[in-house]
C-alpha cells in the first residue's frame, strides 16, 4: 500500500468537492426540478463541505477498511455507513452555523420541509444519503482515486495541488470580497 502524500489529499478534497457539487446540482435540476443554480458557496463548480466531509471520512473511517480484502471490508460496511452518516451530519450542522455567522444564512434551509429535522439545518433523510455516499466514496471512489494519484510523480502531484490551492484561494477571495 503506497503512502498518501499531502498533495494527494488536496487532489482528493477537490475531486470530492466537485462530485458534491454535481450531486447537489443533480438533485436540484433532476430530482426536485427547481432549475439550475450554483449550489456551492464559492463561485466555482465545487462544494467544499463535501471535500471536508470526504477528508474526515478518509482520516476517521477509511483506516477500518483500507488495504483489507473484500470479505473483511464488507463486514465493516454497516459501521462505515453509520460513522459516515454521523460525521457528515456533524459537519453539515457545523457548516450551517459557520455559514450563518459569515453570510447570514446557509444554502440548505429547505430542510424545514423534512419530517425529521433539527432547526432546518440537518435532517434524517439527507443524513442517510450522506452515509450511503460515504460508503460509495470509501469502497469505490477512494481506492480508484488512490490508484490515480499513485501514478503521479511527486512533482506532478505537488504542482497539481499548488494549482488547486491557488484556485480555491482566488475563488474564496473573489467570493468574500468582490461578489
Percent of the chain at pLDDT exceeding 90:
57
Average pLDDT over residues 130-151: 95
Decide if 20 is inside a domain. yes
pLDDT band at 160 (very low <50, low <70, confident <90, very high): very high
CB 92, CB 99: distance < 8 Å:
no
Decide if 172 is inside a domain. no
CB 24, CB 179: distance < 8 Å:
no
Query: What's the domain range around 23?
Result: 6-167
Decide if 178 is inside a domain. no
- For residue 125, CA distances in Å to 41, 107, 128 come to 22, 17, 5
Decide if 53 is inside a domain. yes
Residue with cell 483500507: 66
Cα distance between residue 129 and residue 88, in whole Å: 10
Whether pLDDT at 132 is above 90? yes
Decide if 121 is inside a domain. yes
The most distant pair of C-alpha atoms in the chain lies apart, rounded to whole Å, by: 52
CB 131, CB 85: distance < 8 Å:
yes
Decide if 143 is inside a domain. yes
33-47 CB burial, b ≥16 within 10 A, e <16? eeeeebbbbbebebb
Res 106: pLDDT: 74
State pLDDT tens for residues 35-46: 766 666 777 888
pLDDT band at 63 (very low <50, low <70, confident <90, very high): very high
Residue with cell 457545523: 94
State pLDDT tens for residues 141-152: 999 999 999 999
Percent of the chain at pLDDT exceeding 70:
94
pLDDT band at 3 (very low <50, low <70, confident <90, very high): confident
- Give the number of domains in the chain: 1
Enumerate residues 6+ apart whose C-beta is below 8 A from 165.
10
Decide if 1 is inside a domain. no
Decide if 158 is inside a domain. yes
Amino acid at each position: 500500500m503506497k503512502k498518501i502524500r499531502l498533495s494527494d489529499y488536496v487532489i482528493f478534497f477537490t475531486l470530492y468537492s466537485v462530485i458534491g457539487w454535481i450531486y447537489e446540482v443533480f438533485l436540484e435540476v433532476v430530482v426536485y426540478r427547481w432549475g439550475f443554480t450554483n449550489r456551492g458557496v464559492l463561485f466555482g463548480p465545487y462544494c467544499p463541505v463535501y471535500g471536508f466531509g470526504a477528508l474526515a471520512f478518509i482520516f476517521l473511517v477509511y483506516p477500518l477498511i483500507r488495504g483489507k480484502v473484500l470479505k473483511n471490508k464488507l463486514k465493516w460496511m454497516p459501521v462505515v455507513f453509520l460513522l459516515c452518516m454521523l460525521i457528515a451530519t456533524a459537519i453539515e450542522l457545523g457548516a450551517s452555523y459557520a455559514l450563518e455567522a459569515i453570510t447570514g444564512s446557509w444554502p440548505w434551509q429547505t430542510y424545514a420541509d423534512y419530517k425529521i429535522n433539527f432547526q432546518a439545518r440537518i435532517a434524517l433523510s439527507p443524513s442517510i444519503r450522506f452515509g450511503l455516499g460515504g460508503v460509495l466514496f470509501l469502497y469505490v471512489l477512494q481506492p480508484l482515486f488512490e490508484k490515480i494519484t499513485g501514478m503521479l510523480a511527486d512533482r506532478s502531484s505537488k504542482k497539481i495541488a499548488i494549482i488547486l490551492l491557488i484556485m480555491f484561494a482566488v475563488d474564496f477571495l473573489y467570493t468574500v470580497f468582490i461578489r
